[in-house]
Amino acid sequence: MDRAKSKKIRNIRVIATNIFMSISVVAIVFVLMLIAMGFTFNESGGLEQAGLAQIVSHPSSANVEIDGNNQMSRTEFSKMLSAGTHSIRISKPGYDTWTKNLKIDAGLLTRVEWVRLFPKKFESQDTLSFNNLQGAFFSANRKHLIIQEKETNTLKRVDIQSDNPHADELKLNECLGTKDEIDANGKLSILSWNDDNSKAIAKWTIGDKTSWHLIDFNHPDRSINLSQEYSLSFDSILIANDGATKLWAIEKNNLHLIDLNNHSVTSTIATNIEKIANNKNTVSFINIDNDKKRHLGIFKEGEQNYTELATLDNANDNSIIRLAMGTYWSEEWLAYSVDQQLKIISGKYPNYDKDNKKSSLEEKLNEQIDFLPMLASVNVNQRILVLSGENKLFSFDFETKEKYNVELTSSITDITWLDDYIIWQNIDNKVFARDFDGDNRREIIPAVDNPFPAIISENNKYLYYFDITETESITEGADSPSDADPTTNTEKDLKYTLKRQKLEI
């Protein structure tokens, strides 16, 4: 046998094998890349790109049905789905059912984090009672409740995550940053919280007098009476950093930055402020120039001046203007509306440039909505923007860029979040909940006649709300009410009971 010829054939076979294996590896890698990118073959044999759906529910381990087909996996749930709209149904024995037509975009992750199932059987528990409630404020992180009772010199702080909640008493004068006695007839309003919800900006109102305060709930003796400390008449105050050591303040329509550590107030940053919003150390505002034109400006702490983003040519003295801002993932956004015209810009807030003031924000939405927005609200993680008007809601999802128009059966007086994604509404003294996009409207609390809020605790164990009952107290005369004793009078007091429903059954 010709050895040279045999060696040549063997080399050819080796080369051919190596080429085949290389092609196979490349083909396998290519196929795996297509699979990883969500590409699949459809029923017609064509190649199409799918999207990934990720569904989280409370409670977890719920059944998932997609387009009428039961899935083997339960929530938390992830699956590649073809691009387009799919019918989703989430259920669990003992709970109601959640449904949605979910839009899936090719090659993208669609996260549904707001699936909430409520127990079918409503069982309430009494926890704590309060007399003649003056104010009730749930912290933004849904961990605590702050209570003010009428004509008392204490505030009460309740841990609503505890299985056995109790009220810690805080001295009112310390919370208001003073050693002097406080007129207990005043009314407290908590307006905003810092990141860990240990501090809050509050207003204290007695008659026509208002003072501004930074309350430290962990260390009440460190609270500050801002009006007294800086001898200024504030119009508005916002927290500018996580520790609440810096504050944005409007005083006589002028914008300032307060540094509590240095006990300093900056000179005027901008004048004639009409509206303000902030995202920590960045503040946006609407101000008016000498020609009565309105301008949208933005300012970052430490910069020389503010950047003008737009002139609101369609705004006048009678216009209804709303302003909001936030960050979702790494995308910074700003939303503003003039009457029915809503604009949303996002990207990266611009740095001040005295020469050209270029902005890296891009327009994401320019929408003529079909109602006048009277309220605007942003959920805790700043993914959802909601505007409300008479009998209507408009919401925008900064992750999916989807917008939703919602019809209401009755007007909404405040946008109040039950959890991070659900809005609740009191209709004829019954509490209804709906997802931010308007879906899954459900009655969750039977007849309750009170103006105070409801909330789901951050650990998702309890739904809290208030109930009111009348009690009679003897003010004069005999030890007990008697028709025979004309000196005996009774007064009706209101007893507010903090009730809760357990959400895990």
What is the spatial distance between Cα 417 and Cα 23, in angstroms, rounded to a whole number?
A: 56
Q: What is the pLDDT of residues 383-419, one digit of tens each?
A: 999 999 988 999 999 999 999 999 988 888 889 999 9
pLDDT the model gives residue 1: 52
In a domain? residue 9: no
Sheet containing 254-259: which strands, arranged edge to edge? 234-239, 246-251, 254-259, 264-265
For the entire predicted model, the pTM comes to 0.86
Indicate whether 488 pLDDT > 60: no
In a domain? residue 204: no
Domains held by the chain: number: 1
In a domain? residue 165: no
In a domain? residue 256: no
Residue 13, exposed/middle/buried by CB under 10 A (0-12, 13-18, 19+)? exposed
What is the spatial distance between Cα 95 and Cα 397, in angstroms, rounded to a whole number?
A: 27
What is the spatial distance between Cα 470 and Cα 475, in angstroms, rounded to a whole number?
A: 16
Binning pLDDT at 50, 70 and 90, where does residue 433 land?
A: very high
Q: What is the pLDDT of residues 147-201, one digit of tens each?
A: 999 999 999 999 999 999 999 999 999 999 998 888 888 999 999 999 999 999 9
Q: What is the pLDDT of residues 287-327, one digit of tens each?
A: 999 999 999 999 999 999 999 999 999 999 999 999 999 99
CATH code, domain with 103: 2.60.40.1120
What is the spatial distance between Cα 196 and Cα 198, in angstroms, rounded to a whole number?
A: 6
Residue 423, exposed/middle/buried by CB under 10 A (0-12, 13-18, 19+)? buried
The three-class DSSP label of residue 9 is helix
Q: What angle do CA 228, 234, 236 make, to 5 degrees?
A: 130
What is the spatial distance between Cα 426 and Cα 438, in angstroms, rounded to a whole number?
A: 15
CA distances (Å), origin 2, targets 13, 14, 15, 16: 17, 19, 20, 21
In a domain? residue 93: yes
In a domain? residue 62: yes
Q: What is the pLDDT of residues 434-452, one digit of tens each?
A: 999 999 999 998 767 667 8
Q: Which domain holds residue 95?
A: 50-116
pLDDT the model gives residue 59: 95
What is the spatial distance between Cα 322 and Cα 247, in angstroms, rounded to a whole number?
A: 21
Indicate whether 484 pLDDT > 50: no
Show the tokens assigned to 390: 């008479």
In a domain? residue 82: yes
Asked if the bond preceding 76 is cis, omega within 30° of 0, the reply is: yes
DSSP sequence for 116-169:
E--BSS--EEEEEEEESEEEEEE-TTSSEEEEEETT-SEEEEEETTSSS--EEE
In a domain? residue 349: no
The closest of 173, 213, 171 to 189, measured between CA atoms, is 213
Give the number of residues written for the chain.
505
pLDDT the model gives residue 184: 87
Residue 145 CA, chain-centre distance (Å), reads 17
Give the whole-number percent of the chain exceeding pLDDT 70. 87
